[in-house]
Structure 1
Amino acid sequence: MKNVPYSFILRRLATILAIVTLSLCLTAAITGILLSFYYEPTAGGAYNSLRIIKSEIPNGWMIQRIHQIAGQGLIATSLVEIVVMFLGEKFRPSWLTAWISGILLTLSAIALSWTAMLLDWTQLGYWRFQIELGTLEVIPVIGSLLRDILTGGGAVNTVTVAHLYTLHSYVLSIGALVLAIIHLGGLLLQEKEEKQTLMETEENLSFSE
């Protein structure tokens, strides 16, 4: 009986975190769409367009800041939820959908942050990305291929920014949003099934008495 409150708290916490994760995904998506109206995904225009968004567009700085906070919060929340699901033994087969979607969502959130490092076209972002490309190149077999896909087969330039922008804004963002919905749906469905199982167990015990 002592394990029931503990399990209930973890189960409820996992569901709450899934709702927060979905809310952060929606917030990042909406603010990202607003930013895309003014953002220019080119090597020369990225920095200037973000400067204009911050200084000239009404509430542009706030929208960009909310977008950044939502992205960072998505990583933190998804990582915490993985820990909560692990402690609550939600990695068992009956929770497979929620478990797999949660892991993929966490990876997508990290990938979103990774692809955004060059989109502001600052010196820090540029040299960080160069270091990351060097790390990718040492991956056996596919390292050079990944580098060519990201950079466009040459140096880090406008094509690279366009590729990262496409991955960030379309592929990963849509993927993260879909995974967040699947993850929350999986948790709610499995929680409903668990409640039904508990009710059936209590009914059987009452009949046996």
Structure 2
Amino acid sequence: MQSTQFDRILRRIATILSVVILSLCLIYVSTGILLSFYYEPTAGGAYRSLKMIDTQVAYGWLFHRAHDLAGNAMIVIALAQIVVMFLGRQFRKSWLIAWVSGILFTLSAIALDWTAMILDWTQEGYWRFNIELGNIEAIPLIGTQLRDIITGGGAISSLTVLHLDTLHNYLISPVAIILAVIHLAALIWQERQMYTEVIEDLDQIPGTSLAES
């Protein structure tokens, strides 16, 4: 498929966005590790520990704020990345890894936000999560079992916070980093292919061959 200048610009933007995504992911994970030194994954204790981080730990409020902003920005940039890749007509088989890793990373970023919903143990987070549990329970056949697994017995408790904290920190976060790295590597590889295509196009124009210059 012949690439236009507009397509090449969009592919370059996609590569830049993948760098931003990886940077945000590293900020999110690194600040999350720092917060975990003081965070208490229990009902009530979660709110108190985050309050203590914001008010008593040196620069704790900054790391907490950076963690929240990076998490929200990851979702926005990941969705924008999919739009840019679509507009850039990146549908070839060689783009399969970039597409799959980009979509899976977007889902991972959303999953990080979802599992963090109740980790601050605020009224807003509690009731939002309660509504989400109702939607999960409505899933045919497995809804009730899935709710019990997430909550640790059906009711929202300290065990629920612990389960979500484990999913958030030890499962989804490493997966998100791996997917971000794969996505960036796939787009860099495509950048090299794009550069090769440009050289081949120039070689086909009389008087513009790189070999002659």
Bucket of the pairwise TM-score, normalised by the shorter protein: over 0.9
SS at structure 1 position matched to 2:4: helix
Deviations 1:6-40 (A, max 9, x none): 11210110001000000000000110000000000
Partner of 1:7: 7
1:53 maps to amino acid: I
SS at structure 2 position matched to 1:120: coil
Distance apart, 1:111 and its partner CA: 0.7
Distance apart, 1:165 and its partner CA: 0.3
Partner of 1:129: 129
1:128 maps to amino acid: R
Name the structure with the higher helix share.
1
Partner of 2:100: 100
Distance apart, 1:181 and its partner CA: 0.3
Alpha-carbon distance between aligned partners in 2 of 1:142 and 1:102, rounded to the nearest angstrom:
28
Alpha-carbon distance between aligned partners in 2 of 1:115 and 1:180, rounded to the nearest angstrom:
19
Alpha-carbon distance between aligned partners in 1 of 2:46 and 2:129, rounded to the nearest angstrom:
15
Alpha-carbon distance between aligned partners in 2 of 1:21 and 1:187, rounded to the nearest angstrom:
12
Alpha-carbon distance between aligned partners in 1 of 2:92 and 2:135, rounded to the nearest angstrom:
35
Alpha-carbon distance between aligned partners in 2 of 1:162 and 1:90, rounded to the nearest angstrom:
41
2:28 counterpart of 1:28: yes
Paired residues of 2:8 and 2:194 also in contact (CA < 8 A)? no
Alpha-carbon distance between aligned partners in 2 of 1:65 and 1:42, rounded to the nearest angstrom:
21
Using the size of structure 2 for normalisation, the TM-score is 0.92
Partner of 1:57: 57
Partner of 2:117: 117
Partner of 2:82: 82
Which blocks of at least 5 consecutive residues in structure 1 are unaligned? none
Which blocks of at least 5 consecutive residues in structure 2 are unaligned? none
Deviations 1:123-163 (A, max 9, x none): 11111111000001111222222212210123110110001
Alpha-carbon distance between aligned partners in 2 of 1:88 and 1:162, rounded to the nearest angstrom:
42
1:37 maps to amino acid: F
SS at structure 2 position matched to 1:63: helix
Q: Identity over the aligned pairs, expressed in percent?
A: 57
Root mean square deviation of aligned Cα? 1.7
Using the size of structure 1 for normalisation, the TM-score is 0.93
Partner of 1:165: 165
1:33 maps to amino acid: I
Say which is worse superposed, 70-79 or 140-149, in terms of deviation: 140-149
1:155 maps to amino acid: A
